[in-house]
Chains A and B, each alone.
Chain A
């Protein structure tokens, strides 16, 4: 399983590096979103400071959804996924490899996005380790659900993925937003219960994803 996961993650990251979808398409898109938000709030620094955590996670969710769709889409290329299934490749390894690759891509994107938000919204980034760790855990939670649902909705209407994904991962996004809210304001104690909720949901989603991904592949 571990060998498969490593090979799958390396392959996905290599494909992303060559196609540059994240840099050329997703990154400009998320920056357009945050700039539009900034205009929407009349560029008032006090309002932007209050809404920064929510804007960050809404924007990250858009990026995650695109990265997940791309990650699943490359397996449809030349029916590569059918080949993997027919070769009896370990589905748990495949799943973990795909999750790892998307999370790495998203952490890179979120690092750039958070700097962009800090500059554009004039929001200093306090408690960076907490923010980074919560981003990692939230990305794992959203990606695990996303990879499973993208597999389920493959071949169906493309609009189904965000429609299904958003309600399911809303506890993760909500708790990540609260952790960021308290992290940015330096109120670490208030962030603890939300962090626990975030870890709990992400862990449940990760375990469920590992268990059901094989069934999704067969379907």
Chain B
């Protein structure tokens, strides 16, 4: 598929696939198209040419049906600054298919304590914010996880916890697609690796 962002070719004849229960690693330098690929799979951008199917559906024309099966952990926190972490979690559990108990469990696994959940989101450190966003993304009962730079801002212990969590989810049959620069860390998790360069994806290897 090809994706144009303001006429700029962000993806160019990019071939990509992922199968059930896989952890697929998408690596590449800044601006190579990793995030655009994830956004394309989530229906946030449209293919100019070619076709995209997620669980047999076009994410642009059947966006809501696709997104019910997709969790997206983005660069941005996607949470409200003036709500506490707990209020943010409650809001997303009331409006989206976010499981509040599972989200709270993830926050505990990431080392957040009650006090962290009860202060306003804007007060938290960048790493704590990232943990909260990750907790929401991982708590949704979806079949596909699109994870963009998951380790950015996280400490070593949380990175390890997150890696274990992603592996558990893949072992439970869910598909995980991770875009990251952290080659060494993700390569050990991934069953396949794509290298992105100037908007094209090249399959590097399988394990």
Contact = CB atoms under 8 A, between A and B. Distances in A.
A88 B78 contact: no
Given A86-B42, A89-B95, A78 B78 contact: yes
A89 B95 CA distance: 6
Nearest to B121: A78
Interface string B168-202: 00000000000000000000000000000000000
Taking residues whose C-beta sits less than 8 angstroms from the other chain, chain A's interface range is 20 to 34
Given A78-B76, A79-B76, A82-B44, A87 B81 contact: no
B63 interface: yes
A4 B63 contact: no
A7 B82 contact: no
B153 interface: no
Contacts, number: 81
B94 interface: yes
Contacts of B71: 86-87
Interface string B71-94: 110101111111100010001101
A11 B91 contact: yes
A78 B77 contact: yes
B70 interface: yes
A190 to B, nearest CB: 45
Nearest to B140: A87
B81 A78 contact: yes
B121 to A, nearest CB: 8
Interface of B: 42, 44, 63-64, 67-68, 70-72, 74, 76-83, 87, 91-92, 94-98, 120, 136, 140
